[in-house]
Amino acid sequence: MLFKQQALLRQKLFVLGSLAIGSLLYLVARVGSLDRLQPLCPIDGRFGPRGQDEIPLRALQFKRGLLHEFRKGNATKEQIRLHNLVQQLPKAIIIGVRKGGTRALLEMLNLHPAVVKASQEIHFFDNDENYAKGIEWYRKKMPFSYPHQITIEKSPAYFITEEVPERIYKMNSSVKLLIIVREPTTRAISDYTQVLEGKERKNKTYYKFEKLAIDPNTCEVNTKYKAVRTSIYTKHLERWLKYFPIEQFHIVDGDRLITEPLPELQLVEKFLNLPPRISQYNLYFNATRGFYCLRFNIVFNKCLAGSKGRIHPEVDTSVITKLRKFFHPFNQKFYQITGRTFNWP
């Protein structure tokens, strides 16, 4: 009898011991797995220390999820009301310049959880037909956003169109204006290259760059050629300064945005009074494409369209020299007005 009781006791102790050891092993394994999983979602690391100016995480979630559905028109008015979403006029506009990197700048700023971008160029202020439709038509072209977010649109034709500064001023005299520039001769050749590609797709012939950029009668730079005229940045900026103080403009270095984007984006964050949220985590170099791509989170990455980074045709060096000499005094004046100097030849 005593032997049976001792055997039963040993059996119970064995079962209890096994359960205790099993529970301990489970806890160790659970803690270990949590330690391993934690770096996969480094929210604090991506968006900086928590504070009063922190963007709610739900804003980022909706921005990448529900807001996409709302842009496609799949949301009901009730859903929009419940989520406190609005279509806001832009508080910042990328006004130019063409082939300076406006699309790259817009997409990179969209990494910030407080920024919502208009997906398409609206061409409201530079197109008389669109402008006649009124400011509410323009507002309806804007994406849905939360009240604390800012909407940004870009239409590079704004910078060179005479009527635009006054029209934007009438909409919002305190709007922030972004101008992204590249070395003027390189920008002009890039402008030509884009038009050339369009002609080639339609099996059309096109003049060589040298013939367009240089007046054959005078052998001087052809200022009637739009690609050249657009690169005279100071001439266009002076027209804008009749309506807006220089403090409302921020000049972005388009050449640096290609090779070293983060410092340029951080300057824009500061200009827009945004809390610093874009980090090196959000930007990674794609060796195949030769450009930086965007990382929104662990599952969503994005590279710019394949049309970016077209190979430029070879241009006669004497023409390049002539163009650089022509642009030089305009560049110097641009430096003086904006307070930003570039190492342009």
Binding site residue list: 99-103, 182, 190, 292, 308-312
- Name residue, tokens 């599952």: 299
Give the residue numbers marked as catalytic.
Answer: 99
Distance CA 314, CA 182 (A): 18
**Secondary structure letter of residue 262 according to DSSP:** H
| Sheet containing strand 249-253, strands side by side | 115-117, 150-154, 92-96, 176-181, 249-253
User: For 177, phi and psi rounded to 5 degrees?
Assistant: -120, 125
Residue 151 · residue 91 · CB < 8 Å: yes
With H, G, I as helix, E, B as strand and everything else as coil, classify residue 260. Answer: coil
Instruction: Please report how many Cα atoms fall inside a 13 Å half-sphere around the Cα of residue 269, on the Cβ side.
Output: 20
The tokens describing 231, both together, are 């690169």
With H, G, I as helix, E, B as strand and everything else as coil, classify residue 341. Answer: coil
Binding site as annotated, residues for 3'-phosphoadenylyl sulfate: 99-103, 182, 190, 292, 308-312
**Secondary structure letter of residue 221 according to DSSP:** B
CB-CB neighbours of 128 under 10 Å? 8
